[in-house]
Structure 1
Amino acid sequence: MTPAAGTPVERAGREVRGTARSPAARRVDPRARFPWRAAVSLAVLGCGALLAVRHWPVIASGAVRLAGADPGWLLLGASAALCTWAVSALAQQGAVPEPLPAGRLVAAQFGASAANHLLPAGAGAGAVNLRFLTRCGLTVTSAATALAVKATAGALSRGVLIAVLALGAPGLLRLPPGSALAVAAGLSALGALGATLCRPVRRAVRAVLGGLRAVHRLPGRAVALWGGSLAFALLHCLVVIAVSRSLSLPLAPERVALAYLVASSAAVLLPTPGGIGSLDAALAVALTLAGAPSVAAASVVLGYRLLTVWLPLLPGLVTLGLLVRRRVL
């Protein structure tokens, strides 16, 4: 008897049993079986918890030193820190000719600031923003160019503010002995690196200049880019000034602002997560050179870190996890 023989009922039964045993019917998408988005969210929160545990003595010390500080100035500093994510989103929108969803853009900047403290040299924030921009429809090349444009605008904005403060108050910027030699050596090293990587550097510079030209064809985007970049630097200066005032640091606000701008510019060259360690040391040295007692300078640094890193860290990581689960990232 052939396989097809038998009554119609028998043939239907054989078809049903064959379908039930078919490998295609039992095949399941691996992504449906493994909730990788939930795993990424938990991994991010776990890394944040480990980071907080590792730096807990610093967090506790900063909280103790701020216990007797002026609450009004601390509230001003916390408000300025809260506004930094909004102006960061403004600058990022300015670097992209296409319109971006405003609410998700601000949330992405908040999550990116938390991720930035998990990886060195700003890699965390860069990865989050790159993913966000590509999810908004940009190509990887366009998204990377937008990030480079924003970073360039931020660096130039800090340079302009340093020049204005230094020229507006001669003698305000005092460098330690041998710093000129160190700057010359650093510039020479950068020149040698640029000569070694001449072609990639030229390509990167051309991409950034092309991105800047595209942005400046839209006046509103140009205002958002430069206005957001300047506001971001000024708000961080305001956070440091507010913390120094809350601790009655005997320094003029312009000295504190210049110390922060110089220290943050120098800390960019050191690949530590979120500038933790490099910015702390550079800011403490800059405040001491500006005339602050060393103990008071250390207290200001701890207070600044508490307001800009440790207090927003857990909410930022939770926001990052939610963005991953909702497929924004």
Structure 2
Amino acid sequence: MTTDTTDTAARWRRLPLRQIACLVPVVAVAVWAVLSWRIVEEGVLRLLTADRSWLGAAVVATALTWVAAAFARQGAVVERLPPFRLLATQFAASSANNLLPSAVGAGAVNLRFMVVCGLPPGRSSAALALHLLAEAIGRVTLLLALLAAFPHALRLGRLVPEGAMTSLITGGAVVTGGTVCALAFVRPLRRVARNHLRIALSEARSVHTRPARVLALWGGSLAFPALQATGLVAVGRSLDLAIPVMHVAVAYLAAGIVAAAVPTPGGVGSLDAALVVALMTVGTSAAVATAAVLAYRLITVWLPLLPGALVLGALVRRKVL
């Protein structure tokens, strides 16, 4: 018995961990698809009656988001990253992001990619933080610009449930206060935070001395949410959504910011609910808004999910990640 157990353990140790790891995303996608099959089925039925030319435009806009993300990632570092592997990594990262909450999956994939490309972990983390900051600023900037141009496009009070804003502010204050106290009284943590901040500021200064990197970082960070909103606009047009185009874009940007407060994988649940409410506030019925959101999520989440997982496994197997 002892010999059999020893042999089994030895065989498991000999298994290539990288090959096992490349199967994990595919298995996770399969499990998630089975558990959420009704959502996929409803979205497919809605798409069967939609205008295919507009759906094609939504697919193109979704594909271009990976290009925009690749430009933004390149703009966050001084060194030149391999362009084709960088683009493939963004596609794979989008699949990982739909399996883990609050951009954790995409961040982990891109962090690993930069480390494999030769960047030190500290600088890779700083580049990741810079990209996330630029993307957040780009999203808020677009929303504010559209609201300034179309002030009646969205009644934000209806997008946020009553009392939710107070809870968000209170929660933010508690988190901020806890972070400040931890940095003030825990010396090792303060030292680590200071070192990371120094590296991040140095990286940001270096990037912003190069016009090409500035254009890639901020252009990609603005294009990314704009293309996402364009995808929803195209889906709305395919379903004959009787809402002005810019109002739909405002609804998407506002819903995305609100949904970010609830860190679910790929925004599933939180973004879906916020999008339905946002579309209703700009003048559509609940049934049509639900159909549009289901079709949009099918194109942006479900269709690329399995191919993205396969690409992720291939990148792991080829030691790109």
Task: Report if TM-score (shorter chain) is over 0.5.
Answer: yes
Alignment match, 1:292: 284
Does residue 1:160 correspond to 2:152, yes or no?
Answer: no
Deviation for aligned residue 1:36: 0.9
TM-score between both structures, scaled by the size of structure 2: 0.88
> Aligned to 2:312, which of 303, 312, 320?
320
Q: For the residues of structure 2 that align with 1:182 and 1:270, how far apart are their CA atoms? A: 12
The answer to whether the Cα contact below 8 Å between 2:154 and 2:281 also exists between their aligned partners in 1 is no
Asked if the contact 2:255/2:275 (under 8 Å) is kept, the reply is yes
1:239 counterpart (212, 231, 237): 231
Deviations 1:181-228 (A, max 9, x none): 643542343233212212379746665444332211111101100000
1:218 aligned to which of 202, 207, 210 = 210
Match of 2:270 in 1: 278
SS in 1 for 2:98: coil
Structure 1 match to 2:68 = 87
Say whether 1:134 aligns with 2:126: no
Alignment of 1:59-208 (within 5 A): 59-176=40-157, 182-198=164-180, 199=183, 203=194, 208=200
Tell me which amino acid in the other structure corresponds to 1:173.
L
Q: CA deviation at 1:176?
A: 2.9
Residue 56 to residue 216, structure 1, CA distance change in 2 (3 Å): same
For the residues of structure 1 that align with 2:43 and 2:265, how far apart are their CA atoms?
19
Distance 1:180 1:222 in 2: 40
Count how many residue pairs are aligned between Structure 1 and Structure 2.
Answer: 301
Q: Which of 23, 35, 38 is 1:42 aligned to?
A: 23
Correspondence for 1:255 among 227, 241, 247: 247
| 3-state secondary structure, aligned to 1:118 | coil
Name the residue aligned to 1:302: 294
TM-score by length of 1: 0.86
Does 238-247 or 189-198 show the bigger shift?
A: 189-198
Any stretches of 5+ residues in structure 2 without a counterpart?
Answer: 1-9, 184-188
The residue aligned with 1:19 is: none
**Residues 123, 199 of structure 2: 8 Å contact kept:** no
Following superposition, the deviation at residue 266 of structure 1 comes to 1.3
Q: C-alpha root-mean-square deviation of aligned residues, in Å?
A: 2.1
1: CA distance, partners of 2:90 / 2:123: 18
Amino acid of the structure 2 residue aligned with 1:193: V
The answer on whether the counterparts of 2:154 and 2:278 sit within 8 Å (CA) in structure 1 is no
Structure 1, unpaired ranges of 5+:
1-28
**Residue identity in the other structure for 2:208:** H
Instruction: Please state how far the C-alpha of 1:44 moved relative to its aligned partner.
Output: 1.7
TM-superposed CA distance for 1:179, in Å, is: 5.8
Identify if the C-alpha distance between structure 1 residues 263 and 325 changes in structure 2 by more than 3 Å, giving closer, same or farther.
same
2-structure distance, mates of 1:257, 1:53: 31
Q: 1:92-131: per-residue Cα shift (whole Å, max 9, x none)?
A: 0001111100000000110010011111122111111111
Opposite residue 228 of structure 1, the aligned amino acid is: G
Give distance in 2, aligned partners of 1:216 and 1:100.
17
Structure 1 residue 30 displacement after superposition: 8.8
Q: Based on CA coordinates, which of the two structures has the bigger radius of gyration?
A: 1
Distance 2:53 2:274 in 1: 27
Residues 208 and 188 (structure 1 numbering): CA distance in 2 closer, same or farther, change over 3 Å? farther
Q: Deviations over 1:36-65 (max 9, x none)?
A: 111111122111111111111111100101
1:54/1:298 CA distance change after superposition, 3 Å: same
